[in-house]
Amino acid sequence: MTHGPPIPLTAVLIGLESSEFQAISGWPFADPFVKRLLQGDIPQRVQFGNCSIWTYRDPDGSLVGFGTLDICGECGEYTGGKLHPYLPLLAINPTIKSRGYGTSIVCHLIDEAALLALHGQCHDVLFLDVYTTSQKAIRVYTECGFTIVSPEPIPDPQEDGKPYFVMAKRISIAS
């Protein structure tokens, strides 16, 4: 499926105590893993790490999705030990029909990561991990310029060996 140009969304940085965070936490995600990450990992990444949470509204003002960006060391062995940007989670409001919002959200998170890297606050490679079953998400990430860097799917021992890929994108600008 191809989308037109990314839908212009208005991004707003939110906190854990905001009504928006409460709202997105209540969304009825089809994949329970999304809710587990949102309620389990994201608050910890915000409080103990450097994670920011963004919500996105369409031109009509509807809350259509959210995205998160952390600066962490998960893939530090590939960045010379430097902290790097990482996308822990993003999702579209499951109660609406998506019109390419995923691409818009990923583009915005790439923007923010690139600005941080340009400012010298992190390494210039943006990482994410995605289960191989999430084909739609992998397609969106690929459209946005991410490459699968793990040579083979990696089994997740705590999810019955469910395999995942590590994807990455360089976010420094060619000179």
Partner 1 sequence: MTTFDLADARRFTADLDARMDQCDNGERMECANLDRTLRRYAEFCCEFCEGVRQWGRAIFYGQAAFDPEVEKLWLNEGSELYRRASGLWVYGQAMQGHCFVLENGAALGSALWRLERLLSAWVTPKLAISPLARHGTALTQAAKEEVQKRVDALPSLPANWQPTDPRRWTLFKMLQRGGNL
Chain residues binding partner 1 by CB under 8 A are 6, 11, 15-17, 33, 36-37, 40-41, 43-49, 72, 74-75, 77-79, 86, 88-89, 104, 107-108, 111-112, 114-115, 118-119, 124-125, 127, 129, 147, 149-152, 154, 156-159, 164, 166, 168-175
For residue 66, what is the DSSP state?
A: E
Least gap, CB of 10 to partner 1 (angstroms): 9
Rg (alpha carbons) of the chain, rounded to whole number? 16
- Between 29 and 78, CB nearer to partner 1: 78
Q: CA 30 to CA 47: how far, in whole Å?
A: 27
Residue 10 vs 135, nearer CB to partner 1: 10
φ and ψ at 141, to 5 degrees? -60, -40
- Nearest alpha carbon to residue 85 among 94, 99, 75: 75
Residue (93 or 104) nearer to partner 1, CB? 104
Contacts of residue 5, defined as CB under 8 A and 6 or more positions apart, other chains included, come to none
Tell the residue number behind the tokens 């905001």, with chain if given: 18
Q: How far is the CB of 72 from partner 1 (least distance, A)?
A: 8
54 or 95: whose CB is closer to partner 1?
Answer: 54
Residues in the chain: 175
The CB-of-17 to partner 1 minimum distance in angstroms stands at 5
